[in-house]
Structures are given as structure tokens and as C-alpha cells.
């Protein structure tokens, strides 16, 4: 006898419908599985057989063929255990087929008949709702996740026996709790703990207000990691759609904790510099999201940037601009979103002490040049804000213990960021940040004062900014004006934006030439051998760069 059961297979962040067909016919006992299943799917037959036996049911004693259709779609993992078991029960006359009409199912079976959670259930539930399923049966640990999809009935069960009981008496189903939030939004560590570092703190605020990527260069202990960790706390809480997208990516990656519902907090991912391209970008035979997509709508922190392999970093370039990663395989092509703010941190030289007034740098000139060359290049060109940091002064650190001199905290900065982002959202279509503005839209929304334009034009020549680098200055200036509550971008905004291009100078130095900004800095004593150019070229007017906090 032939039976059919509905389920789904993951492809990227979507799930596609799969029909599990079970045929029991005459012949020697045995179960053959067809339809492009991986090893876990093939092993399903042993788990299903034992689960049926240990649940007091009868495994078929003749020849069984299980087909997962469509046959050209790759299937992975143990999620087909439950639909295969239900198909066997129908085909062997132990479960009346009308009971399962229009019901989808997905769960792994334990040998004792217990249901175990599987990855990607949120995607499965969306597909089930889209295709008009009457209900979706999942393991109890997946029920809160599946229930995030509105308009779909979810049946959570602990065992195969319980599934059969629910099918017999659907009125006994208890709807799962939908309100479970696995990861409530909270600010995390507070910006008030970071003493001094006005330039770095301001850059962090601008990054949060306009979705700009940020590079922090400074010796060990200057507070680079501290600053990066405080960026999620400056961003507004995730909206429901954003939180669902984040939850979906974690679910597909198999990283959603059992019983979890919505992941509502901003992600902060900090992969180790030894990680592979697949771990960072995503991929694999059956593609899964990488760190980049797990940081979707949040912060990806690459500490010790120069230690990452060049070919790994190179693969970041396109996703950073497009906000999505495409993984292409012979049989499939899938997309993982990755709208992130990148924060990269690195030491100024191999020993870490170049430019530090209290330590001698042990690296030679050529070692430093080689190091800077590793930092420079197309990835750097995509980072809007580049900040050179010093270790905090003893007085700044001591102020942390003087109650009379509190440092501005995350809540106050987040409030300014919220207002600036509202202004940005009203102006930019598709919810894009200032950092992604381009072409005519950038020209129209910039509202540049004529003196500001003249300063920018001059800076392009003096600082030898690439066209992309020049455009980044404009976008940052737009965000600075937004933070000040102005529609017009003024000279001071351009001047401040230029102070976040420190690395353009280093890049020129790495290439062996000295742009005008460096010699001018040398003339005023800031560019002596052993120091890093800070806050841009000295001969450019600084404008009225306000410092908050």
C-alpha cells in the first residue's frame, strides 16, 4: 500500500516542500531510501524501525521503499524521521490517512520513540503556512520557534506515541507558548565605563547612527575591544521583522537553543582570527550561514584584523557592500542576508607599541611597512571610520573613580542615535543606512553647503582619497549632520568626517610616499618618527568638530 506525508527541506534560509512517499510491497524485509538524502537521512531507517518497535507499534515485515520527492532537491539531516515513521504507519494500516491530511511534520526520532528538535524549523513553519498546511507537528523543543509564524497551528509533541494521540484527538492539542523570548534586548556593557577616548567614542556614535563600518587602530590595552562591545547597546532595539530574520538565520545554522522563541537582542559576533572562510562567510556542501550572517542586524567584530588570512578577508568585500552573501553550488544557489556593522581592531605594528609614548617600538621600518600593507587595500577602502587610539591617560582612568566626573553612558548616546536614525529613515528608501547611500540619491540628500563642497574637493587632492574613500567622507558627514539635527551638511561636518580617514595617510606611507598631511604633521611635531598620524592631516581646517560626552 502507498502512503504520502508532507514535510520540507532547507535551502538556504527557505524551506521547500518535500513529499515523503512510502510504499509497502511484497518481497524480503528491507527498507530502501531514494531521493538525494545525505547520510543522516539514510540512517533514518534504523532510527524509525527502533522507534516504532519501542513505541509498541509494528515495523513492516516486507519490502519498503521510501521516496523523498522532488528527487533532485538535496535533503539533509534527521528531520524526515517523523514523516517517514508516520508514512510507514499509514502504509501498514496502523494510522488512518485522513487524520494526517494537510498536516506537515518534521522531527528526529530517538530509538525509544522520543521526538528531538531539528534545525530550520522556523523556515519550515513559514513554508507550511505559505502552502496552506492545516498544522505542523514538531518536537516540543521546536514548538515555540514554529509558533513564531502567525496563522499556523503548531502541535508540539514529546514522543511518537503522543503524536498518534494528538492525531486521534486534535482537540487535546495545547497551543505552544509564543511569547518566549530567548534573548531579550538589553544594552550590555555601558559606554560610561570607557574613560577618555573622545575620538573613539564619537566614532562609535557615528557608526551607530549611520551604519558605518569602523576600524580601531591602537596599542594593546587602549580599549579597542571595550569600545566594540558597546556598539550593540547604542543601536535601537530590533523590530519584529528584524528579530524574525535574525532568529531564522540562527535556526538554519542550528544555533537556536532548544525551546527558544524570538532572538530579540542585537547580535555581537566576534569570530577568532583563525576561522575559515566558510565559518566567516557561510557555505559547506549544504550551505549554512557563517559569522557574517549570524551578525545580521548587529555587529561583526574582527579583533586582530591583520591576523585573519587575506583570502578570508577578501571574501568579505562584496557582502559588506551588498548586505547579503550568495553561496553557489552545482545544484543550488542560496542567499544569506548580512546587514551588519563591521568593527575591526588591530595593533599599529607587529609589536603593538608603535606611537606609544611609554614603549619603544621594536619593529623595523620595513616590518611596519609590510604590516600596514596587510592592512591596506580594498577592504580598508570600504571602512568609513578609521580611528587611531592611544592608551588612556592615567588621569582619564582615575576620573572613573571620581564621582564628580561621570562619563556619558550608553543610554544618552543611544537616544541621540535614535533621533538621528529616524531622520535617516525618513530620507532613505528601503531602510538603508547613510553608509549605503549611493549615486543620485546621495547627491540629492547630501545638501552640501558650497564652502563644505570646496573643502571636500581640496581634501580629495591633498589627502589623495580614492573616489570611494571620498564618497565615504560625504556619507559620514551626512550622519554627523543628522546627529546635529541638521538637513544641511556644513564645512565642520566634512572637516570632522576627514578626521576619521587616518588610515589613508598610513596607506600612503605603506606605499612609500608621504602625502602633504604627513609632512605638515611632522612640522608641528605630531608626525615625528614613531608616531601615528592622528585625526587626519594637520593642514586641513578642523571646523567645529563637536565632541559629545
Ligand X SMILES: Nc1ncnc2c1ncn2[C@@H]1O[C@H](COP(=O)(O)OP(=O)(O)O)[C@@H](O)[C@H]1O
**C-beta of residue 20 within 8 angstroms of C-beta of residue 41:** no
If binding is defined by CB under 6 A, does position 346 make contact with ligand X?
no
R_g of the chain, CA atoms, integer Å: 29
Find the binding residues for Mg ion in span 167-226 (CB under 5 A). 225
Could you say which of 197, 247, 386, 499 contacts ligand X (CB under 6 A)? 197
Query: Taking CB under 6 A as the rule, does residue 221 contact ligand X?
Result: yes
> Which three-class secondary structure state does DSSP give residue 60?
coil
Q: At its nearest, how many Å lie between ligand X and the CB of residue 114?
A: 45
Query: Which of these, 539, 538, 529, lies nearest to 509 by C-alpha position?
Result: 529
Q: Does 306 bind Mg ion (CB under 5 A)?
A: no
- Using the rule CB under 5 A, is 451 a contact of Mg ion? no
Q: Which does 419 bind (CB under 5 to 8 A by kind): ligand X, Mg ion, none?
A: none
Q: Which three cell numbers stand for residue 125?
A: 513553519
Least distance from C-beta 304 to Mg ion, angstroms? 8
Nearest to 392 by CA among 195, 191, 203: 195
- Nearest distance from C-beta of residue 345 to Mg ion, angstroms: 6
- Grid coordinates representing 176 are 505552544
DSSP H helices, 182-331, are: 198-210, 224-229, 240-252, 277-281, 291-294, 310-314, 317-322
**For residues 84 and 137, what is the distance between their CA atoms, to the nearest angstrom?**
13
What's the grid cell of residue 196? 577618555
Site string for ligand X, 374-393 (x = CB under 6 A): ------------------x-
**Shorter beta-carbon distance to Mg ion: residue 225 or 451:** 225
Give the footprint of ligand X on residues 233-252 (CB under 6 A). Answer: none
Binding partner at 382 among Mg ion, ligand X, none, C-beta below 5 to 8 Å by kind: none
DSSP summary character for residue 114:
B
Which CB, 27 or 189, lies closer to ligand X?
A: 189
Residue 393 beta carbon to ligand X: minimum distance, rounded to whole angstroms = 9
Residue 226 in the binding site for ligand X (CB under 6 A)? yes
**Given 199, 224, 472, 478, the residue binding ligand X (CB under 6 A):** 224
Cβ(87)–Cβ(21) below 8 Å: yes
Q: In angstroms, what is the minimal distance from the CB of 281 to Mg ion?
A: 23
Our CB check for Mg ion shows the closer of 123 and 383 to be 383
195 touching ligand X, by CB under 6 A = yes
- The span from the CA of 431 to the CA of 245, in Å, is 15
CA dist., res. 106 & res. 43, Å (int): 16
User: Is residue 225 part of the contact set for ligand X (CB under 6 A)?
Assistant: yes
Shortest distance, CB of residue 341 to ligand X, whole angstroms? Answer: 17
Q: How far is residue 236's CA from residue 165's CA, in Å, rounded to a whole number?
A: 45
Q: Which three cell numbers stand for residue 226?
A: 571595550
Between strands 135-139 and 63-69, the pairing is unpaired
Binding residue for ligand X, selected from 96, 102, 175, 220, defined by CB under 6 A: 220
* Binding residues for ligand X, total number by CB under 6 A: 14
- In sign, the C-alpha dihedral spanning 406, 497, 521, 367 is positive
Q: Among Mg ion, ligand X, none, what does residue 221 contact (CB within 5–8 Å per kind)? A: ligand X
Which residues of the shown chain bind ligand X in the complex (CB under 6 A)? 194-197, 218, 220-226, 392, 397
| Contact residues for Mg ion, defined by CB under 5 A | 225
Amino acid at each position: 500500500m502507498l502512503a504520502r506525508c508532507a514535510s520540507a527541506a532547507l535551502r538556504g534560509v527557505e524551506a521547500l516542500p518535500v513529499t515523503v512517499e512510502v510504499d509497502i510491497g511484497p518481497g524480503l524485509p528491507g527498507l530502501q531510501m531514494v531521493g538525494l538524502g545525505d547520510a543522516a537521512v539514510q540512517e533514518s531507517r534504523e532510527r524509525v524501525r527502533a522507534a516504532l518497535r519501542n513505541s509498541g507499534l509494528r515495523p513492516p515485515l516486507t519490502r519498503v521503499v521510501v521516496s523523498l520527492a522532488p528527487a533532485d532537491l538535496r535533503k539533509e539531516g534527521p528531520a524526515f524521521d517523523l514523516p517517514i515513521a508516520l508514512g510507514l504507519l499509514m502504509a501498514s494500516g496502523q494510522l488512518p490517512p485522513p487524520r494526517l491530511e494537510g498536516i506537515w511534520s518534521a522531527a528526529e526520532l530517538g530509538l525509544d520513540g522520543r521526538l528531538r528538535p531539528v534545525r530550520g524549523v522556523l523556515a519550515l513553519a513559514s513554508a507550511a503556512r505559505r502552502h496552506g498546511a492545516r498544522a505542523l507537528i514538531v518536537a516540543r523543543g521546536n514548538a515555540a520557534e514554529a509558533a513564531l509564524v502567525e496563522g499556523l497551528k503548531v502541535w508540539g509533541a514529546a514522543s511518537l506515541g503522543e503524536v498518534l494521540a494528538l492525531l486521534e484527538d486534535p482537540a487535546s492539542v495545547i497551543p505552544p507558548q509564543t511569547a518566549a523570548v530567548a534573548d531579550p534586548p538589553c544594552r550590555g556593557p555601558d559606554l560610561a565605563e570607557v574613560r577618555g577616548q573622545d575620538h573613539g567614542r564619537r566614532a562609535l556614535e557615528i557608526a551607530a547612527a549611520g551604519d558605518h563600518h569602523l576600524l580601531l587602530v591602537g596599542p594593546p590595552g587602549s580599549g579597542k575591544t571595550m569600545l566594540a562591545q558597546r556598539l550593540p547597546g547604542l543601536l535601537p532595539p530590533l523590530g519584529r521583522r528584524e528579530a524574525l530574520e535574525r532568529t531564522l538565520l540562527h535556526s538554519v545554522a542550528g544555533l537556536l537553543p532548544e525551546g527558544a522563541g524570538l532572538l530579540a537582542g542585537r547580535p555581537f559576533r566576534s569570530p577568532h582570527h583563525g576561522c575559515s572562510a566558510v565559518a566567516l562567510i557561510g557555505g559547506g556542501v549544504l550551505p549554512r550561514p557563517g559569522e557574517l550572517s549570524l551578525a545580521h542586524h548587529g555587529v561583526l567584530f574582527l579583533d586582530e584584523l591583520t591576523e585573519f588570512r587575506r583570502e578570508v578577508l577578501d571574501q568579505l568585500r562584496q557582502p559588506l557592500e551588498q548586505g547579503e552573501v550568495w553561496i553557489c553550488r552545482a545544484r543550488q544557489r542560496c542567499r544569506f542576508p548580512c546587514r551588519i556593522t563591521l568593527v575591526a581592531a588591530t595593533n599599529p605594528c607587529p609589536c603593538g607599541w608603535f606611537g606609544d609614548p611609554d614603549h619603544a617600538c621594536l619593529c623595523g621600518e620595513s616590518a611596519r611597512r609590510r604590516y600596514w600593507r596587510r592592512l591596506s587595500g580594498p577592504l580598508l577602502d570600504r571602512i568609513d571610520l578609521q580611528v587611531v587610539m592611544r592608551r588612556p591617560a592615567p588621569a582619564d582612568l582615575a576620573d572613573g573613580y571620581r564621582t564628580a566626573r561621570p562619563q556619558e553612558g550608553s543610554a544618552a548616546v543611544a537616544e541621540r542615535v535614535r533621533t538621528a536614525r529616524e531622520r535617516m529613515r525618513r530620507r532613505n528608501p528601503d531602510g538603508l543606512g547613510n553608509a549605503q547611500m549611493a549615486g543620485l540619491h546621495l547627491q540629492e540628500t547630501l545638501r552640501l553647503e558650497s564652502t563644505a563642497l570646496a573643502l571636500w574637493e581640496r581634501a580629495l587632492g591633498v589627502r589623495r582619497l580614492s573616489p570611494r574613500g571620498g564618497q565615504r567622507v560625504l556619507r559620514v558627514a551626512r550622519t554627523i549632520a543628522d546627529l546635529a539635527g541638521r538637513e544641511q551638511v556644513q564645512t565642520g561636518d566634512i572637516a570632522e568626517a576627514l578626521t576619521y580617514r587616518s588610515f589613508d595617510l598610513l596607506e600612503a606611507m605603506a606605499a612609500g610616499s608621504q602625502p602633504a598631511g604627513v609632512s605638515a604633521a611632522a612640522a608641528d611635531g605630531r608626525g615625528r618618527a614613531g608616531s601615528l598620524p592622528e585625526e587626519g592631516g594637520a593642514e586641513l581646517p578642523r571646523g567645529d568638530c563637536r565632541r559629545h560626552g
